[in-house]
Amino acid sequence: MFPHTRLRRLRRRKMIPLLAETHIGKDDLIAPLFFDETAVNPIPIISMPGQYRWPVSMAEEVIIMLNNAGIRAILLFGIPSVKDAEACGAYAPDGVIQQVIRAMKKACPEMAIITDLCACEYTDHGHCGYIGECLDGPGLLNDTSLEMMQLIAVSHADAGADIVAPSCMLDGMVSAIREALDDYGHHEVLIMSYSSKFASSLYGPFREAAGSGFSFGDRTGYQAPVSNRREAYRESELDAAEGADILMVKPAGWFGDIITDIKQIGLPVAAYQVSGEYSMIRAAAEKGWLEERQVAMESLLSLKRAGADLIITYFAEDVCRWLDE
């Protein structure tokens, strides 16, 4: 007790780095990337300053740039040239993501390539699968849409993806995808499930980036309510039982309690710092209201402190540069 115990001794400037309980390293980071099949040059994403829709022709250049920065894993999103009700472009052998995977694997085979496995960017209605009549009117058909996820997963694995990341929050999606991958000989492809994904208001900038706005309704019927902690845990617990290799909490920053909960399941946990979180920090920094580097690093440290093993963040390349300075 005081005066013998003085915690301020631990906070002397030279002691803080030595005694830090939580650290961010380059190997913790996953960089999300958008590739647009119609783009000729990089297209700035207005609501996400510093982020772009990249043309497929630049896939090799982008992956080498990130690898040189110290990034070891990327998460791919595709924007196709044509959308339809059945998301045919999502599982086409020559689809935008399939082209990008093959180019990246050739240029940088050591990079871990993760693919977002969903259909909202590829459907003309913006929902994550097949649409039909449900109890509350037109909506997402769960079991039929599992077949679509299987097609997409196998096509990504055939192209060379190391990890597929189903983000559609369909019941049974992990077991269906695992079965399909194994049936086609992709036993070593991992599944990183968006297992506790909330119906959050923080996805707005992403919908501009990926062109994934919906033509009717919303996604509250298949994403978890932000108010429900136990339900979010059950979602991850079920995905773990179905064979997920990595679990995910999305969004990240306001859901540290969920990250801590999910950590107890025993699988690696990824935290997705989503577009809204990124854009808020960027916008405040541009206004001069916050110091971007300090706030961004603090936000990521909080995710590690909560228990995240991996962090998906649009700040990934910036963090690598800051760690080198």
- The catalytic residues are 197, 250
Distance CA 309, CA 325 (A): 24
Residue with tokens 């208001």: 201
Question: Residues 220, 127: contact at Cβ < 8 Å?
Answer: no
The residue among 257, 301, 255 whose CA lies nearest residue 276 is: 255
Is residue 44 helix, strand or coil?
strand
Question: Residues 33, 315: contact at Cβ < 8 Å?
Answer: no
**245-263 per-residue burial string, b: 16 or more CB within 10 A, e: under 16:** bbbbbbbbbebbebbebbb
User: Which residue type sits at 55?
Assistant: P
Supply the DSSP symbol for 225.
Answer: P
